[in-house]
Amino acid sequence: MSDNVEETLESSTSQESLRASQSRSEKIEADLVANPGNWRVLTGDRPTGELHIGHFFGSLANRVRLQNLGVETWVLSADYQVITDRDGVGPIRERVYSAVANYLACGIDPAKATIFTHSAVPALNQLLLPFLSLVTDSELRRNPTVKAEWEATGGRPLSGLLLTYPVHQAADILFCKANLVPVGKDQLPHLEQARVVARRFDERYGRVDSGSGPVFPQPEALLSEAMNILGTDGAKMSKSRGNTIEIGMDADTTAKLIKKAVTDSDRNITFDPENRPEVSNLVFITALCSGRDPQEIATEIGDGGSGQLKKLATEAINERFASIRATRAELLAAPEYLEEVLHAGNARANEVAEATLAEVRAAMQMLY
């Protein structure tokens, strides 16, 4: 079979899988409203830099929505995963506390959600050992997450932690027996890795009491429409590119960055993401922040040019995030409360992780 035929078959299978995932996700969305108690969500971020407005609209706002529906929500600050492809962690403690302040300011309620860090939960990380025995080297190297992260390093040799990154993320999901993970379609292969680990563990070990069901659920994907928010340079907004509008930025800094944002030479403002991505991006951000239709905004500006567009975008961003920024500043000024939130979340995560590890050891007949 030729490479082209294999690629076509793989693409076809991938499309079928995506359609099935989308159909299942739509049904889950309906059930979340009717039966929120049936679901436990795991989500989180790597604290490699400051969270930006792309994170807010792409994931943070949805976490708050799920929490407020009554879905049990776990939010991970994945500090160990900062070093998968880096020589150092940078100001890791500062970034973790900044992330927690962002979570709380955006509406995550520590009374309803568990906020925790990798490094504070030993039993979670211990699951990595039995899980690694369930996957192959070739499977890990084919994983799109590993490929993308490796390419971002410039092709230097893979660290052991980067190679096993998908399995570590599987441990994140499975330690608390999360059965739902919000993802974009590009992250589906990673979630499938967690499903594979859960299934293979049950096939290999099961439980001593076979009537109790599998140790781990196979987590489902809650697919979200990817909000491709561009940065000030016209490329995807990314912490690593330094092109972000951070959630915690002050109004003046936001204004300066928007003023420098890339647009084009056509004075007439239209919303045309395919042909005018940079201009359309500012229109889109303005729409997200103001709750308006992007076409309506573009028509309103008309031949006002990029200057009028940037003015409107700046006003919309600063107005949308004003209260969040004020709350965030108050939280950072009182770090003892952030510590309390993390201590409570880490304690809860340890309690659950140790119980899960005990089940794993029992299934593997390693209780001594």
Model confidence over 90-131: pLDDT tens digits?
Answer: 899 999 999 999 999 999 999 999 999 999 999 999 999 999
**What per-residue confidence (pLDDT) applies to 61?**
94
**Cβ distance 177 to 72 under 8 Å?**
no
**What per-residue confidence (pLDDT) applies to 146?**
85
Position 119, amino acid: S
Q: Work out the pLDDT band at 208, boundaries 50, 70, 90.
A: low
Class of domain 239-332: mainly alpha
| pLDDT, averaged across the chain | 90
**What per-residue confidence (pLDDT) applies to 11?**
47
Please compute the mean of the pLDDT values over residues 237-243 and round it to a whole number: 83
CATH 1.10.240.10 residue spans of the chain: 239-332
Two structure tokens written together for 98: 């900044």
Q: Determine phi and psi for 101, rounding to 5 degrees.
A: -60, -40
CATH match of 3-227+334-363 with 3.40.630.20: no
CATH 3.40.50.620 residue spans of the chain: 3-227+334-363
Cα(116)–Cα(345) distance, integer angstroms? 5
Q: Work out the pLDDT band at 209, boundaries 50, 70, 90.
A: low
Cα(202)–Cα(213) distance, integer angstroms? 9
Q: Where are the alpha helices (DSSP H) in the chain?
A: 3-34, 53-55, 61-69, 92-106, 122-126, 128-132, 137-142, 144-152, 160-163, 165-175, 188-204, 251-260, 277-290, 294-301, 305-332, 335-363
Assess whether pLDDT exceeds 70 at residue 225. no
Task: Please choose, from the candidates 200, 136, 204, the residue with its C-alpha nearest in 3D space to the C-alpha of residue 164.
Answer: 136
Please compute the mean of the pLDDT values over residues 290-310 and round it to a whole number: 95
